[in-house]
Amino acid sequence: MNFCSECGEKVNISVPEGDNRPRHICGGCGVIHYQNPKMVVGCLVEHDNKILLCKRAIEPRHGLWTLPAGFMENNETTMQAAERETQEEACANVEVIELFTMFSLPHIDQVYMLYRANFKELSFSAGPESLEVELFDESDIPWDEIAFPVITESLKRYFSDREKGQFQIHTGAMIKQTQQPVSFHVTTLNDA
Amino acid sequence: MNFCSECGEKVNISVPEGDNRPRHICGGCGVIHYQNPKMVVGCLVEHDNKILLCKRAIEPRHGLWTLPAGFMENNETTMQAAERETQEEACANVEVIELFTMFSLPHIDQVYMLYRANFKELSFSAGPESLEVELFDESDIPWDEIAFPVITESLKRYFSDREKGQFQIHTGAMIKQTQQPVSFHVTTLNDA
């Protein structure tokens, strides 16, 4: 951020009075421009013991598999965002059942929320951001070709809960470790 | 938003190619400025059957009571945000136990997340944004002086779950009704 979105003047970075963090402050009108994390919301859609995955047609991670998910928009609920993203990426008309995972990813200022969902009608195909959309048995999940660690973590917990016969809500954080190779320390509340 | 925060040129509102919503697009450098909902995160701190409330020293709703909560910052987790806000508003050092309510408030582009929490040490006082901080018995909660409907809804569910002897995670939305007086239609997933 270089310029004020209100008045067009240059912004400076400093700690406002009564605050304790550096912010972008307009040198002209004085407006403080806060920056906050974004929510990425999507669905784990199950049918006939299979899970719906999308092969990404866009960067990052073009060609890798993910769950249908994307940035929550203004003027919608998290449930509507999850259903909308599934419609857009997998052309699938679904209904959310319940929240399944909510993970903070502080290194990229995102909170990921994935909902379990059912098809309203059994129909899906690749939207503009997907190359392919497919239902996978647990044994066929392309574990080495999953786009994001938070998706791998969520899928593992899904199949683990399904085997136990009881889905719970998993809330926590995935903290990127500084050592190479890239890995994450996953902390969750209330895990049995 | 009137000006591009990257280059300072005027922004226009139009639907980008391949998108389906109007966005702020820079007439100079072409950057699309997305706007997304914010997370408000806080704590339900219980001690000795009492709940910690803060009397607001700031607008909106100056002088009314609320749970310690505020906007999640970049580079933190939702749990850290909940504990930090409780420290800032109630000078209380707490540890979150588990998510309790997550409500979308689409009319103000917010998602509220409230965590159950315990004191690490029993000490609290008014931070700069609070006039008073107090522990309330259920029977003493100032129901007519609660700052926000989402707080009232969360407190009601808290006492109801506590009476049942089992806390669950409540996820849903509070939809503002258009009729006067102001009211909300509360929808939740998976409520028994």
Q: Which of B103, B102, B66, B100 is nearest to B85 (CA)?
A: B66
> Which fold does the domain A38-188 belong to in CATH?
Nucleoside Triphosphate Pyrophosphohydrolase (3.90.79)
Whether the per-residue pLDDT at B191 is higher than 90: the answer is no
Nearest to A76 among B3, B10, B106 (CB): B106
Which of A88-92, A187-191, B72-76 is the least confident region? A187-191
Share of chain A above pLDDT 70, in %: 99
Percentage of residues of chain A with pLDDT beyond 90: 93
User: What is the predicted pLDDT for the residue at B190?
Assistant: 73
Concatenate the DSSP letters of all residues of B80-127 into one string: HHHHHHHHHHH---EEEEEEEEEEEEGGGTEEEEEEEEEESSS-----
What's the mean pLDDT in B137-143? 98
From the list B10, B169, B173, the residue facing A79 with the nearest CB is B173
Interface test with B, best of A1, A5, A96 (most B CBs within 10 A): A5
Residues B83-131 have pLDDT tens digits of: 999 999 999 999 999 999 999 999 999 999 999 999 999 999 999 999 9
**Using 50, 70 and 90 to split pLDDT, how confident is the model at B73?**
very high
Q: What is the mean pLDDT of residues A136-145?
A: 98
User: Residue A89, SS3?
Assistant: helix
Distance from C-alpha of A157 to C-alpha of A139, rounded to nearest angstrom? 15
Nearest CA-CA partner of A108 in A16, A31, A173:
A173
In tens, the pLDDT along B32-62 reads: 999 999 999 999 999 999 999 999 999 999 9
Domain ranges of chain B: 1-35, 38-188
**B chain contacts of residue A33, beta-carbon cutoff 8 Å:** 5
Q: Across residues A145-162, what is the average pLDDT?
A: 97
Residue numbers in A near B76 (CB within 8 A): 37, 104, 106
The order of strands in the sheet holding A11-14 is A11-14, A23-26, A32-33
Largest CA distance in chain A: 60
Question: A189 versus B38: which is more confidently predicted?
Answer: B38
Q: Do A7 and B3 touch (CB under 8 A)?
A: yes
Burial A45-71 (b: 16+ CB within 10 A, else e): bbeeeebbbbbbeeeeeeebbbbbbbe
- In this prediction, residue B52 carries a pLDDT of 98
Residues of B in Cβ contact (< 8 Å) with A98: 171, 189-190
User: Residue A182's pLDDT is what?
Assistant: 87
Mean pLDDT check: name the lowest of A14-18, A49-53, A84-88, B97-101. Answer: A14-18
B128 and A18: CB-CB below 8 Å? Answer: yes
Does B192 have pLDDT greater than 60?
A: no
pLDDT, residue B106, reads 97
Helix (H, G, I), strand (E, B) or coil at A106: helix
Please provide the average confidence, as pLDDT, over all residues in chain A: 96
Task: Identify the pLDDT of residue A22.
Answer: 95
pLDDT in the model for residue A190: 72
Mean pLDDT of A122-128: 97
Q: Kindly indicate the confidence band of residue A83, based on its pLDDT and cuts at 50, 70 and 90.
A: very high
pLDDT at A192 exceeding the cut of 90: no
- B71 contact residues in A (CB cutoff 8 A): 34, 36
What torsion, rounded to 10 degrees, do the Cα atoms A163, A110, A65, A122 define? 70
Nearest-by-CA chain A residue for B110: A74
From B76, which residue of chain A is nearest by alpha-carbon distance? A106
Q: What is the pLDDT of residues A3-12, one digit of tens each?
A: 999 999 999 9
B1-35 has which fold?
Ubiquitin Ligase Nedd4; Chain: W; (2.20.70)
Tokens 């989402």 locate to B150
